[in-house]
Amino acid sequence: MSFTLTKKQQVKEILKCGKDPSYFLKTYARISHPMHGLILFDTYDFQDDLLHDFNDYRFNVILKARQLGISTITAGYIVWLMSFHRDKAVLVMATKFATAGNLVKKVKNIIRNLPDWLRMASIKVDNRNSFELSNGSSIKAASTSGDAGRSEALSLLVLDEAAHIDGLEELWTGLYPTLSTGGRCIALSTPNGVGNWFHKTCVDSIAGTNNFKLTDLPWQVHPDHDEVWFRNETKNMSKRQIAQELECNFNASGETVIDAKCMEWLESTTKEPQYRTGFDRNFWIWEEFDPSCNYLMTVDVSRGDGADYSTFQILKLETLEFIGEYQGKLTPDLFANMLNQVGREFGNAMMVVENNNIGYTVLDKLVEYGYPNLYYSIKSTHDYIEQHQAEAMNSAIAGFSTTSKTRPLIVAKLEEFIRNKLIKVYSTRLVGEMKTFIWKNGKPQAMKGYHDDLIMALAIACWVRDNALQNCARDLNYQKAFVDSIITTRTTMNTRIPGQHGYRRDNALDKQTDEARSLYEQYKWIIK
């Protein structure tokens, strides 16, 4: 449409633009194109849908791929809001001040390139990262490091690249009251793993437990993006970058310790427990005790401050198949009593208790109860040693020590078992923890505000099963071979060398004595 109109036509167009932001932008807004310069803003259907959502819903969360023009359409909506409404206060917030400032700059450029007769208000106060219109509407850019916006009444809050804003949970607590008078919020971002405010907001929107309208915009929504475009764009991108920048995949976009494919497999193996028991209903059981099986029970004891959980897991020793799991907040004495009862019910399962902090209190209680199958190790080497041997050694210690040295080792063993599908995990609680278990400064740990108690219990189980007990098994094989070679069923031994005169082969050396057989039967359960 030509911008040369009669006064009557101009009034008609102003009224029409004030009612329909999509029509306003398509018809009169001009944007800067990196290749073609200043062009008319020819919006796509998915962008028009967003404009209607911005107008129809107070809270919008947009999960987007890059190169879809979402920041530009958001800027266009802000132009419409500020131009056709008086006294609107807009705050654009991002991790970096420059990111928020770029959006403010887009808003300013669109306003400046409107037809004179359609520029409903002129720019009155003009600063680098903020400006105010003559109708009282204003916009300001801010980084998340300051206190901007917390004491203001906002008409619109824009959270740009929200998934990448650290500590947004706390920020949102302070910002939400600024919208209490009817203010709106637009949170837009590419994904950045799970567990952050943006991810939780998207998930809760799907579940219908918050007021946000979710819009999912992967790369395919753009009419000009086909498979050829995708292949060209992703030639030099990693899988994580593709998931984050183009596919809108939360699981694959973050720096989780367990990769996306393994996570998908884990999610496919989860199932509901047969029983939810215990006084708090937090003891989940997938399979009842089988006397023909041997069980491993690994325990992570809470610090006792109420911030984390005490957990244990029961697994079949031979197959590492999940049998039972507990996650709750019990006092050390009650937790020890529960461990003693459950361990005995599962055939005196070998019990491995993490001995850090308050774990020693639980171990002392278990020793007091006379639990018959506790895990002991050598202090210096962390090698497994039998309970009856440990009781006579000063260098032995009950439980497993998670240290800066052992933690990466047991986590690596867990990742190896999952990657090779050598473990059967049924717990949704455990898989949920793995989604927020990330690399931070080169160390595997739970995201802020989340837990890794179940993960660490399982990691200990993998390590003990594959390293400590297998090493013990090899030692026992050596012992058995030695005993079998020197103890016979007779009182005499043939000490002559084969090939020498008088050598007599009577098979006596090939027979196991009762003593050797007893030794083998006692320990065969830990031999693969």
> How confident is the model over 210-243, as pLDDT tens digits?
999 999 999 999 999 999 999 998 988 887 788 8
CATH of the domain at 204: 3.40.50.300
Report whether pLDDT(152) > 70. Answer: yes
**Phi/psi of residue 142, each to 5°?**
-150, 150
- Among the candidates 192, 221, 254, a domain finishes at 254
**Separation CA 174–CA 197 (nearest Å):** 14
| Sequence-distant (≥ 6) Cβ neighbours of residue 395 within 8 angstroms | 378, 379, 380
Write down the pLDDT at residue 4.
Answer: 76
Residue 304 included in any domain: yes
Structure tokens at 74: 């958001």
**Which domain CATH number covers 370?**
3.30.420.240
Residue 496 falls within a domain, yes or no?
A: no
Domain boundary residue, one of 430, 450, 467? 467
67 and 107 together in one domain: yes
Q: Which of helix, strand or coil describes residue 265?
A: helix
* 432 and 359 within one domain: yes
pLDDT at 482 over 60: no
pLDDT of residue 503: 40
Same domain, 270 and 250: no
Average pLDDT over residues 97-121: 93
Do residues 21 and 111 share a domain?
A: yes
pTM here is: 0.64
User: Quick one: 236 and 286 in the same domain?
Assistant: no
Residue 354 pLDDT > 80 = yes
CA angle 377-308-421, nearest 5°?
60
Count the domains in the chain: 2
Find, among 131, 126, 132, 120, the residue nearest to 83 by Cα.
120
Are residues 42 and 145 both part of a single domain? yes
Contact 445, 452 (CB under 8 A): yes
Q: Is residue 310 domain-resident?
A: yes
Question: Please, are residues 363 and 399 in contact by the beta-carbon 8 Å criterion?
Answer: yes
Same domain (yes/no): 324, 441: yes
Average pLDDT (276-284) is: 90
For the record, the structure tokens of 301 come out as 């004891």
Angle between helix 21-28 and 70-84 (nearest 10): 110
Q: Do β-strands 310-316 and 322-328 pair in parallel, antiparallel, or remain unpaired?
A: antiparallel
Last residue of a domain, one of 467, 497, 523: 467
Minimal CA–CA distance to 436: which of 458, 452, 414, 425?
452
Q: What's the pLDDT at 401?
A: 84
Buried/exposed code over 399-412 (b: 16+ C-beta within 10 A; e: otherwise): bbebeeeebeebbe
pLDDT in tens, 396-418: 788 888 888 888 889 989 999 99
Q: Could you tell me if 282 and 379 lie in one domain?
A: yes
Of all residues in the chain, the percent with pLDDT exceeding 70 is: 83
Both tokens of 22, joined, read 């999509």
The DSSP 8-state label assigned to residue 64 in this structure reads E
Query: 225 lies in a domain?
Result: yes
* Interatomic CA distance for residues 252 and 255, integer angstroms: 8
- Helices 45-56 and 21-28, interaxial angle, to 10°? 140
Residue 184 sits in the same domain as residue 294: no
N-term to C-term CA, the chain: 80
Q: What is the DSSP letter of 321?
A: B
In a domain, 482, yes or no: no
pLDDT at 522: 56
User: Residue 41 to residues 32, 33, 47, 48, 113: CA-CA distances in angstroms?
Assistant: 9, 10, 11, 11, 11
Residues 78 and 214 in one domain: yes
Comparison of pLDDT for 385 and 7, the residue scoring more: 7
As a three-state string, the secondary structure of 411-462 is HHHHHHHHHCCCCECCCHHHHHHHHCEEEECCEEEECCCCCCHHHHHHHHHH
80 and 224 housed in the same domain: yes
Domain shared by 439 and 461, yes or no: yes
Q: Is residue 407 part of a domain?
A: yes
State the pLDDT confidence band at 304, using cuts at 50, 70 and 90.
low
- pLDDT at position 528, please? 41
> Does the pLDDT at position 527 exceed 50?
no
Q: Is the pLDDT of residue 498 over 60?
A: no
pLDDT of residue 466: 81
Residue 476 has pLDDT above 50, yes or no: no
Q: Are 135 and 121 in contact (CB under 8 A)?
A: yes
Instruction: Please check whether residue 515 lies inside any domain of the structure.
Output: no
Residue 159's Cβ-count burial label (10 Å; 0-12, 13-18, 19+) is buried
Residues spanned by the domain of 300: 265-467
Does 514 reside within a domain?
no
**Mean pLDDT, the chain, as a whole number?**
84
- Residue 306 pLDDT: 60
